[in-house]
């Protein structure tokens, strides 16, 4: 047990970074699909409120993302969901 304890910190750092990249994929796709044209417009704000925020925790997050940013935001894989990485690759120039 004492040997595993020092590695917990390392695993937490790796998991946190993985979660950050996962969320960044979603964020860049949402930006490119919904907000890039005019992020401060009334229509963009209404879309965020009506399609994303209004439901709170009542709807499955994958359904919220698809309704908000289109079907390209996530992909189903092995019973789970994975983000579409193409928008992140485009943003960082890959």
pLDDT in tens, 14-45: 777 788 888 898 899 889 888 888 889 999 99
Residue 74's domain comprises 5-92
Look-up of token digits 């120039």? 93
Give yes or no for residue 79 having a pLDDT over 70: yes
Q: How many structural domains is the chain composed of? A: 1
pLDDT reading at 2 higher than 70: no
- Could you tell me which of 62, 67, 73, 78 has the C-alpha nearest to residue 27? 73
What pTM, to 2 d.p., does this model score?
A: 0.73
Q: What sign results for the dihedral spanned by CA atoms 78, 13, 69, 94?
A: negative
Share of the chain above pLDDT 70, in %: 94
């Amino acid at each position: 047990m004492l040997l595993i304890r020092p590695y917990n910190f390392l695993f937490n750092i790796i998991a946190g970074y993985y979660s950050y990249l996962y969320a960044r994929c979603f964020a860049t796709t949402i930006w490119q699909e919904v907000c890039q044209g005019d992020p401060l417009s009334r229509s963009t704000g209404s879309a965020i409120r009506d399609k994303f925020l209004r439901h709170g925790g009542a709807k499955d997050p994958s359904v919220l993302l698809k309704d908000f940013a289109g079907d390209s935001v996530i992909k189903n894989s092995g019973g789970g969901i994975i983000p579409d990485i193409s928008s992140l690759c485009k943003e960082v120039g890959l």
